[in-house]
Amino acid sequence: MNFFQHRKKIGENIATFIRLKGFSKLSFSKLTNISRPTLNLILAGEISSPVTFETHLKKITAAFNLPEDYFLHPPVIIPESWQRPAMQYSDRLQEENRPEHIQKVLNDLDDLLDIAAIYL
C-alpha cells in the first residue's frame, strides 16, 4: 500500500499516538531511531521523499509491534484502570434522592466555595 499519499493523516495520527502514550518528541525519536527534525517533518506531513517516509513509518510500527497500516486510522488507546474514574457523582440528582454522605460532602464543598469567595 502507498502510505505516502496519506502522509498528512498518518502524521496527525502519529502525533496523537505520541501524546496519548505520554512520549515527548525527543523520547519518541530516540525510541524509534528517527532524528528529531525528520520526526517533525513526518508529524507535519511535509516529508518529501516517499522512500524515506515509508522507511521511517516501518521503524515506528516495528518499535511498537504495530501493523503497518495502524496509523491510517486515529489510534484508539484504552485507558489504564487508574486513568478511569472509579465512581462518578453528580450534583444534579434531586436533594431528597441523594444518599446522606454524598449530600454532606456537597454541602461541605459549598461551604468551602463560600469561604474562598470571601478571599477572592
Element (H, E) at 102: helix 100-119
40-74 pLDDT, tens digit per residue, is: 999 999 999 999 999 999 999 999 999 999 999 88
Cα distance between residue 11 and residue 72, in whole Å: 9
Neighbours of 39 (CB within 10 A): 22
Cα distance between residue 15 and residue 75, in whole Å: 10
Q: Say if pTM beats, i.e. exceeds, 0.85.
A: no
Q: What is the mean pLDDT of residues 12-39?
A: 93
Q: Are 56 and 71 in contact (CB under 8 A)?
A: no
Query: Exposure of 67 by Cβ count < 10 A (0-12 exposed, 13-18 middle, 19+ buried)?
Result: exposed
Per-residue model confidence (pLDDT) at position 97: 73
88-112 pLDDT, tens digit per residue, is: 666 565 666 778 888 888 888 888 8
- The size of the chain, in residues, is 120
Q: Domains of the chain (ranges plus CATH)?
A: 4-72 (1.10.260.40), 91-119 (no CATH)
